[in-house]
Amino acid sequence: MPRWSIAFVRLVDRLNYGVGRMAMYLLFVLMAVLMWSAATKLYGRPSLWTLEMAQFVMVAYYILGGPYSMQLGSHVRMDLFYARWTIRQKAWTDAFTVLALMIYLGVMIWGAWDSLAYSLTLKWPDGALLPEIGRLERSPTAWRPFLWPIKGVLFLGFVLMFLQSLTYLIRDIAILRGEEI
């Protein structure tokens, strides 16, 4: 395999490992938000922001932890036939399925980018640029947080998952060529 592909695989693995390890700590943030919610409800003064913040933190945990989970091989897999196959057969199957995953992630990245651009009021849903830039999208709830941070996390998570999928494809190609990364 070319040196650049090996360096790319190692760089993406290191990046997703670090992001995934940091994302694990979002569970503690989620617990703190939910404990605050429970405590304020106990004293009859529930906070407006806790439910939506808990949802945002959970989305960030899930989306940013996905590439790390893929890297560790923790995703659920149907091993009815797969477990009995040779390494080459597994590599062919994985290369085909990862290509399908990359097409899906490409569509998700495109949608996340459009949603983020709309949230930052860079363009209307029809693609035309807005005349007034800077009027940021907000949630319609009583708390009314800005939506661009969570939409940015979604975009980043999909990009990281796409990059991790690309490293899987490079590894599968290396296995099919009889090389190891």
125, pLDDT greater than 80: no
- Asked if 174 and 15 count as a contact pair (C-beta separation under 8 A), the reply is no
DSSP 97-148: HHHHHHHHHHHHHHHHHHHHHHHTTSB-TTSPBPSSTT---B-SSSS--BSH
Q: What is the model's pLDDT at position 1?
A: 84
Q: What is the mean pLDDT of the chain?
A: 91
> Which class for 47: exposed (0-12), middle (13-18), buried (19 or more C-beta within 10 A)?
middle
- Tell me what pLDDT residue 122 has: 64
Which amino acid is present at 61? Y
- Is the pLDDT at 104 greater than 80? The verdict is yes
Residues 55 and 57: their CA atoms lie apart, in Å, by 6
pLDDT tens for 5-58 read: 999 999 999 999 999 999 999 999 999 999 999 999 999 888 889 999 999 999
User: Which DSSP category does 170 fall into?
Assistant: H
Rounded-to-integer distance, Cα 56 and Cα 54, Å: 5
Domain range annotation of the chain: 3-176
